[in-house]
Homo-oligomer: A and B are copies of this chain.
Amino acid sequence: MSCETETATTLKDAGQKVTPQRMLILSSVRHAGGHLTASQILEEVRHSYPYVDASTVYRTLASARVLKLVNETNMGSDDNQFEWIGKERHHHLICRSCGEVTSLDNSYLDGLASTLLEDHRFQADLDHFAIFGVCKGCVGKER
């Protein structure tokens, strides 16, 4: 099954319609292979379909987020960024000094998730976490 067919099936299974705008928006995020801001996505989509409205992009991304196709992360200062959720759940370490983003394996937060469940019966969404701090390269510089 191609990426596009798979995306379409997911939408249909959720009772949503498959429209050209949605397919463009979701393909754009899927094949970017990283983080994109909403405005980057809008720009990208308009290359092939010029009159797509910004609100359509936001609404599509919002519903895709509910379906866990993408996630939205506040990467610090400005715009929120969107990213395709592949099979690999992972987290990010974001340096607030140089802005570098490092991926972090899911295993680091497994323990926390199960502790929260045991102690508080709280089922945490720890699929994708952004952890801010200072990276090894910047620790020296800051002091």
Q: Which of A19-27, A38-46, A118-126 contacts B (4 or more CB under 8 A)?
A: A118-126
A115 partner residues in chain B, CB cutoff 8 A: 108
Please tell me if the beta carbons of B112 and A109 are within 8 angstroms of each other in the complex: yes
Please tell me if the beta carbons of B108 and A123 are within 8 angstroms of each other in the complex: no
Please tell me if the beta carbons of B108 and A116 are within 8 angstroms of each other in the complex: yes
Please tell me if the beta carbons of B108 and A122 are within 8 angstroms of each other in the complex: no
Please tell me if the beta carbons of A131 and B126 are within 8 angstroms of each other in the complex: yes
Given contacts A93-B116, A108-B112, A108-B116, contact A133 B139 (CB under 8 A): no
* Known contacts A123-B133, A123-B139, A125-B131; 20 further A-B pairs (Cβ under 8 A): A74-B74, A93-B120, A93-B124, A96-B125, A102-B120, A102-B122, A104-B116, A104-B120, A108-B116, A109-B112, A111-B111, A112-B112, A116-B133, A121-B136, A122-B131, A122-B135, A123-B134, A124-B132, A125-B132, A126-B131
